[in-house]
Structure formats: structure tokens, C-alpha cells
């Protein structure tokens, strides 16, 4: 007997096949649509990102500069400890501030009564390759023209006055002068003068270099001075030791010690800078002359 054709099953298979074809068709269309959308989003001439802007160069002048050296007509001028705090500050906006410290010497032979005062001036400045001009704020006619040179940490400014006199000032960048810190250490004598002028280095080498042994040892709290003199055919050592403090004006060391139960106070005027410690004062037997002793932390004499 012939079986009946399975028409329902065939229809079912056909329907499933049609459904699968439609699914594949829609998937293909969807993929094409996505590609088309992506292509539409692509810019044929896309904008390139802007290159980073170069940072504006900062003039090497900008910053704080501390006075370390002063010369008049080619000769170095001594700078008081107080004056070493003087500074110039240059801003990136062409403004400048000059702070000048001035020393007032001691007024009391028995106590440290010196002073260190300062004046602040507001300035503007302009520069060319070789010239630096300072102008007082609010005073258009008050100008100072300097030739100058500047490196990473050194500024040299030279001023010539109407009479032809030349003053050269050297500054160090970001340097903070603090004699209380710089004075600590062991200092060895290397030079001797009278009245700030006359060379007396011969006194250091006479008598087998007796005086060349002099040194000063300074800690945070104490000072010890080893002095040598040739007397009675012999090189003799005298040691002075005590607690000390630096005066308000930064120009005097005030030393206190006890001898046989009695408190003694001694005053020594001094200058300190650029690796040199100088003491000076009147000396008995020098007919009113005063003596300058210069020390460094490196030995000159052995």
C-alpha cells in the first residue's frame, strides 16, 4: 500500500529553511549597515591634534640674588657681614626688588651695640644683550644702567658713574648668608696685615713660623682661640676659650668665660665671607695700630 506523502513535514522543513534564510539576510544587512555607518563617521580630512605649545623661556635673571663681592675701580672692597644680606630679586613680569643692608658700627667699647638696618626699593627692569637698566617705580627719571653678565648661579653688574668710577657687584643665586652657620669649623691663619693696608705676613714666618700655628676652633656654642707669640727666646701658646654670641649687627663676636671665678667678656670684631674669617682690633705695643688676622679652613702653613 502506498503511504501518504508527508506534506506537513515538508512544509515544516520549508518554513524553517525560510526562517533561517531571513535571519542570515537580516544579519548581512545589519553588518553592511554598521560598516556604512562607520564609513560615514570617518572624516576624509581628520583634524590632527594641535602640537603642544612650547613653554615660554624664563630669563636666567629671574630669581633672588645675594651680594657676595664688591669691587671699586678694580680693587675688592670689604663687605661687612650685615651688607652681605643685600639682595636683588627679579620677577618674570619685569619687576625687581632691591634690598640694601647697611651696617652701623659698635657705639659701646664695653658691649656689642652695633646694628644692621635695611632699605627696600621697588624697581622695574629691562635688558638687552649687554645692558641691564633698573628704574625706580614712580620715578621715570631715576634710572641706573649696568653692563652685566649672567650664568646659572652668578650675576655680575658693572656701573660706571659720571666721573668714570667703576663699581662691580657680584651676586650668587639663591644663596642665603648666615654667619652663625658659616663660622662653625676650624680656621687656620694665612695672612696678617696692619691697619687694613700693610702686609705683615713676615710675622707669620719669622722665628720658625711661630705665629703661623694660630687657629680658631668654633662650634655652635663655643670658641677656642690658639694664639702664638715669640717672647723670651721661645714660642709661647696662649689659649682663650669661652661661650660666644654674634651681635645683632652681625659684626662682633661677644665671648664670655670665667677665670678664677670671675666672668670676663671680650669683644672681637670680625668679617666672614667667601671662605675667609677676619678678626681685627687694636693691639698693645703697636703704637695705636690695629691688626687684621685672616683665617681659612685650609692650612697654608705646615
List pLDDT tens digits, range 235-281: 999 999 999 999 999 999 999 998 888 889 999 999 999 999 999 88
Same domain, 117 and 101: yes
Examine the fold and report which residue of 147, 177, 207 is the final residue of a domain before the chain moves on: 177
* pLDDT score at 46: 64
My answer on whether 246 and 206 are in the same domain is yes
Q: d(Cα 18, Cα 11) in Å, to the nearest integer?
A: 10
Mean pLDDT split into 10-residue runs, the chain, 302 residues: 44 48 49 48 63 72 97 94 97 97 88 94 94 90 93 96 95 96 97 90 94 97 96 94 95 90 90 94 73 95 85
pLDDT value at residue 22: 52
State phi, psi for 182 to the nearest 5 degrees. -70, -25
Would you say residue 1 lies in a domain?
Answer: no
Regarding whether 210 and 248 lie in a shared domain, the answer is: yes
Instruction: Give the pLDDT confidence of 57-98 residue by residue, as tens digits.
Output: 778 999 999 999 999 999 999 999 999 999 999 999 999 999
Q: Note whether 97 and 168 are same-domain residues.
A: yes
Question: What range defines the domain where residue 85 resides?
Answer: 63-177
Q: Do residue 87 and residue 114 come from a single domain?
A: yes
Q: What angle do CA 78, 79, 85 make, to 5 degrees?
A: 170
pLDDT attached to residue 139: 79
pLDDT for residue 11 = 38
CA distance 165 to 160: 6
Q: Which CATH number characterizes residue 229's domain?
A: 2.40.128.20
Instruction: Compute how many other C-beta atoms are within 10 angstroms of the C-beta atom of residue 168.
Output: 19
Amino acid at each position: 500500500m502506498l503511504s501518504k506523502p508527508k506534506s506537513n513535514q515538508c512544509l515544516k522543513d520549508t518554513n524553517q529553511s525560510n526562517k533561517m534564510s531571513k535571519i542570515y539576510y537580516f544579519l548581512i544587512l545589519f553588518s553592511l549597515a554598521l560598516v556604512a555607518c562607520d564609513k560615514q563617521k570617518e572624516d576624509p580630512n581628520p583634524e590632527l591634534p594641535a602640537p603642544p605649545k612650547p613653554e615660554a623661556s624664563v630669563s636666567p635673571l629671574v630669581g633672588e640674588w645675594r651680594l657676595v663681592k664688591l669691587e671699586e675701580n678694580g680693587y675688592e672692597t670689604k663687605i661687612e657681614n650685615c651688607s652681605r644680606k643685600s639682595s636683588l630679586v627679579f620677577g618674570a613680569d619685569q619687576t625687581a626688588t632691591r634690598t640694601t643692608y647697611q651696617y652701623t658700627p659698635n657705639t659701646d667699647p664695653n658691649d656689642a651695640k652695633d646694628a644692621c638696618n635695611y632699605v627696600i626699593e621697588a624697581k622695574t627692569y629691562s635688558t638687552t644683550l649687554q645692558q641691564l637698566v633698573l628704574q625706580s617705580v614712580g620715578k621715570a627719571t631715576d634710572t641706573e644702567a649696568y653692563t652685566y653678565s649672567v650664568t646659572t648661579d652668578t650675576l655680575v653688574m658693572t656701573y660706571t658713574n659720571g666721573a668714570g668710577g667703576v663699581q662691580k657687584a657680584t651676586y650668587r643665586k639663591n644663596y642665603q648668608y648666615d654667619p652663625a652657620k658659616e663660622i662653625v669649623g676650624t680656621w687656620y691663619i694665612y695672612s696678617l696685615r696692619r691697619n687694613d693696608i700693610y702686609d705683615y705676613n713676615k710675622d707669620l714666618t719669622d722665628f720658625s713660623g711661630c705665629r703661623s700655628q694660630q687657629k680658631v676652633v668654633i662650634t655652635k656654642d663655643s670658641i677656642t682661640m690658639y694664639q702664638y707669640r715669640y717672647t723670651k727666646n721661645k714660642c709661647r701658646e696662649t689659649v682663650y676659650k669661652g661661650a660666644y654670641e654674634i651681635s645683632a649687627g652681625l659684626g662682633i663676636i661677644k665671648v664670655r668665660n670665667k677665670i678664677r671665678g670671675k666672668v670676663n667678656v671680650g669683644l672681637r670684631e670680625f668679617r666672614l665671607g667667601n671662605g675667609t674669617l677676619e678678626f681685627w682690633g687694636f693691639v698693645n705695643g703697636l703704637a695705636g695700630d690695629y691688626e687684621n688676622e685672616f683665617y681659612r679652613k685650609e692650612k697654608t702653613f705646615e
